Amino acid sequence: MTDTTNGEVLLELDGITKQFPGVLANDRVDFDVKSGEVHTLLGENGAGKSTLMKILYGLYNADEGEIRLRGNPVTISSPSDAIEQGIGMIHQHFMLVPTLTVAENVALGLPSSKRMLMDLTPVRQRIRELSDTYGLAVDPDSYIWQLAVGERQRVEILKAIYRDVSLLILDEPTSVLTPAEVDDLFETLRQMTRGGRGLVFISHKLHEVMALSDRITVLRLGRVTGRTTPAETSREDLAHMMVGRQVKLAPTRTDSTVGEARLTVRGLNVIGDRGTPAVTDLDIEVRSGEVVGIAGVSGNGQRELAEALSGLRPVASGEVIINGTDTTNRSPKEIRRLSVSYIPEERMRDGTVAEFSVAENLILTDHDLPPISRRGFLDFNQIKQVGSALVKRFTVKTPTLETPTSSLSGGNIQKLIIARELSGDPELLIAAQPTRGVDIGAAEYIHSVLMGQRAQGTAILLISEDLDEVMGLADRIAVMFEGRIMGVLDRAEATISRLGLLMAGVEEPNDSE
């Protein structure tokens, strides 16, 4: 295994500069990792974290600066160079072959002891040993497709340990895990650092950063804007360093009057993409002026629920009633006409046409209604007026209305979608992962907009994997697990530990409600 003493400097990135056309992605960034520590790289989308790590992993070449491993300057021009130098990376999207077993995936790309022939026996043996040492329970003979996301991640980590990396980069590793799985992961990671490895942890979840890191480096707009340790800082300070100004992490709640039911779902069953049940016997009600949160680890039927409610996916059985009208299996268009808006989870796939201009996307849902459309022709003056009004009101940062939407940042595309969806003051809003992948500033703004809509009496169904978000915004929180609602908690009684248990599928003793 690695034979380094803790505290030795494993890696130094010295004055790394990377220029993209029009953008300085990294501006003289210094970063180092000692053995036995977790050094967090914190920053918003576009701050340059990924660029820096891609340079380290050989996917990009730096324009300036030096990479040193254990004091020796190295050139890393491809991922295989990086792997040879003992650098491993766990990507946000797992790099596993689903149709192969765990052992086969681990052995992939490594020389076999029997030359041309595959010999997995030693691989299996070693996987079992490593599983025991690091608490990574995985059966080497399971197929990847049979594994849950948490288990797949363990395989990724096993792969890295198997290759005996001394430095491991983890890119947003917790985004698919339940709170309990996050705890397990952190335990494994600490175990790894005790063995002398150095870890780079990339995250934007502030409480995780505070919990795991030994040191924290904050990047903003390509520059290092802060170096600190959890003991010396707070979540608020970190957010300040990331954004460059004071940020409110929890949205301000105002009073709102809860009125009549806007959305009633009874006994809903929905079939998922693979033909298996995705939503099972689901009941939920959302009334005007309230936010009902749906918490849960992704892939537990939230997406299918939102799609069924908005008419994009057929309902197998059960009923959906919106504003007194039965909308079960109605078309998206008919449902929209009932003053329903939907912020989709996948904003690039469902929410916008990337090649269209900002203006075209802003009128996408109203394109066939007057005043946008007159006798079958588009009224470009109206489009411009509507567009510039929305861009201003929702502070969408775009050079022009004709700019193709694909060139906006994630946060601004999300603002564009929200601008369009809220422009008609909907009576019911289905918001799926409204702030996923957007920067703190935009998330803060989106939260305040949602709270504003709530105060105006909009019924909001908020589907989110971000527990902080659900707990900050929702009046009631329903937890989804394997297509079912495990329980509904009032805002006051919802704690991370109670929600976490429900998210893991543990039923509560039946005393609440």
Partner 1 sequence: MLIGAVLAAGLIGAVMLLVLGANPLTGYAALIDGAFGGTKNLANSALKAMPLLLVGAGITVAFRTGVINIGGEGQIIAGAILSTLLVLALPDVPRLILLPSAFLFGAIGGAIWGGMAGALKSYAGVNEILSTIMLNIIAVQILNLLLRGPLMDPGEIERGSRIPHTERLSGNADLPILPGGTRLHFGVIVAVVMAVVCYVLLFRTTQGLRLRASGHNPFASLYAGMSVKRNVVLAFMYSGAMCGLAGVTLVFGSEGHRLATDGGATTFTGAAGFNGIVAALFGGLHPLWTIPASFLFGALLVGANAMQREVQVPAALILGLNGLVVVFVVASLQTRVRLAQIASRLRGEEQADLSLSDEASSAEAGADTS
Least Cβ distance, residue 280 to partner 1 (angstroms): 24
Binding characters for partner 1, 438-477, by CB under 8 A (x = yes):
-x--------------------------------------
Task: Based on the shown chain and the rule CB under 8 A, indicate whether residue 112 belongs to the binding site for partner 1.
Answer: no
Q: Contact with partner 1 (CB under 8 A): which of 65, 150, 332, 457?
A: 332
Contact between residue 101 and residue 144 where contact means Cβ atoms under 8 Å apart: yes
- Show Cβ contacts of residue 495 under 8 Å, excluding neighbours closer than 6 positions: none
Nearer Cβ to partner 1 (45/264): 45
- Show Cβ contacts of residue 473 under 8 Å, excluding neighbours closer than 6 positions: 251, 291, 293, 447, 450, 451, 462
Q: Contact with partner 1 (CB under 8 A): which of 232, 376, 509, 513?
A: 376
Task: Based on the shown chain and the rule CB under 8 A, indicate whether residue 20 belongs to the binding site for partner 1.
Answer: yes
The count of chain residues that interact with partner 1, using the rule CB under 8 A, is 59
Closest to 367 in 3D by CA, of 314, 315, 420: 420
Task: Based on the shown chain and the rule CB under 8 A, indicate whether residue 141 belongs to the binding site for partner 1.
Answer: no
What's phi and psi for 304, nearest 5 deg?
-65, -35
Structural tokens at position 476: 């009631």
- 143 pairs with which residues across the strands? 101
Task: Based on the shown chain and the rule CB under 8 A, indicate whether residue 360 belongs to the binding site for partner 1.
Answer: yes
- Report how far residue 303's alpha carbon sits from residue 444's, in angstroms, rounded to the nearest whole number: 23
CB crowding 390-402: b at 16 or more within 10 Å, else e: bbeebebebeebe
Task: Based on the shown chain and the rule CB under 8 A, indicate whether residue 426 belongs to the binding site for partner 1.
Answer: no
Task: Based on the shown chain and the rule CB under 8 A, indicate whether residue 509 belongs to the binding site for partner 1.
Answer: no
Q: Contact with partner 1 (CB under 8 A): which of 225, 228, 288, 365?
A: 365
- Report how far residue 156's alpha carbon sits from residue 90's, in angstroms, rounded to the nearest whole number: 7
Nearer Cβ to partner 1 (48/86): 48
Nearer Cβ to partner 1 (148/353): 353
Q: Contact with partner 1 (CB under 8 A): which of 193, 288, 302, 412?
A: 412
Task: Based on the shown chain and the rule CB under 8 A, indicate whether residue 350 belongs to the binding site for partner 1.
Answer: yes
Least Cβ distance, residue 179 to partner 1 (angstroms): 27
For 296-351, strand residue ranges (E) read: 317-322, 325-326, 340-343
Task: Based on the shown chain and the rule CB under 8 A, indicate whether residue 142 belongs to the binding site for partner 1.
Answer: no
Structural tokens at position 336: 């929209």
Element counts in the chain: helices (H) and strands (E): 16, 22
Instruction: Mark the segment that binds partner 1 (CB under 8 A) among 62-70, 157-165, 360-368, 494-502.
Output: 360-368
Least Cβ distance, residue 305 to partner 1 (angstroms): 15
Nearer Cβ to partner 1 (78/113): 78
Least Cβ distance, residue 414 to partner 1 (angstroms): 12
Task: Based on the shown chain and the rule CB under 8 A, indicate whether residue 329 belongs to the binding site for partner 1.
Answer: no
Least Cβ distance, residue 400 to partner 1 (angstroms): 6
Nearer Cβ to partner 1 (2/403): 403
Task: Based on the shown chain and the rule CB under 8 A, indicate whether residue 495 belongs to the binding site for partner 1.
Answer: no
Show contacts of 232-239: CB within 8 Å, 24+ apart.
Answer: 235/206, 235/207, 235/210, 238/42, 238/206, 238/209, 238/210, 239/206, 239/440
Nearer Cβ to partner 1 (198/351): 351
Least Cβ distance, residue 464 to partner 1 (angstroms): 19
Type of residue numbered 67 = I
Least Cβ distance, residue 64 to partner 1 (angstroms): 17
Axis crossing angle, helix 149-162 with helix 121-134, rounded to the nearest 10? 110
Q: Contact with partner 1 (CB under 8 A): which of 36, 86, 293, 351?
A: 351
Instruction: Mark the segment that binds partner 1 (CB under 8 A) among 203-211, 237-245, 361-369, 485-493.
Output: 361-369
Task: Based on the shown chain and the rule CB under 8 A, indicate whether residue 392 belongs to the binding site for partner 1.
Answer: no
- Chain mean position to CA 406: 19
- Chain mean position to CA 20: 25
Residues 173-192 contacting partner 1, CB under 8 A: none
- Report how far residue 467's alpha carbon sits from residue 497's, in angstroms, rounded to the nearest whole number: 11
Residues 21-40 contacting partner 1, CB under 8 A: 21-25
Q: Which residue has the tokens 């520059």?
A: 223
Residues 273-312 contacting partner 1, CB under 8 A: 310, 312
What's phi and psi for 496, nearest 5 deg?
-55, -40
Contact between residue 410 and residue 363 where contact means Cβ atoms under 8 Å apart: no
Task: Based on the shown chain and the rule CB under 8 A, indicate whether residue 344 belongs to the binding site for partner 1.
Answer: yes
Nearer Cβ to partner 1 (351/487): 351
What 8-state DSSP symbol labels residue 230?
Answer: G
- Show Cβ contacts of residue 318 under 8 Å, excluding neighbours closer than 6 positions: 265, 266, 267, 268, 269, 281, 282, 328
Binding characters for partner 1, 42-81, by CB under 8 A (x = yes):
--xxxxxxxx------------------------------
Contact between residue 56 and residue 87 where contact means Cβ atoms under 8 Å apart: yes
Q: Contact with partner 1 (CB under 8 A): which of 406, 448, 495, 512?
A: 406
Q: For binding to partner 1 (CB under 8 A), which residues are involved? A: 20-25, 44-51, 221-222, 310, 312, 331-333, 336, 342, 344, 346, 349-357, 360, 364-365, 367-368, 372-373, 376-378, 397-400, 402-404, 406-412, 439
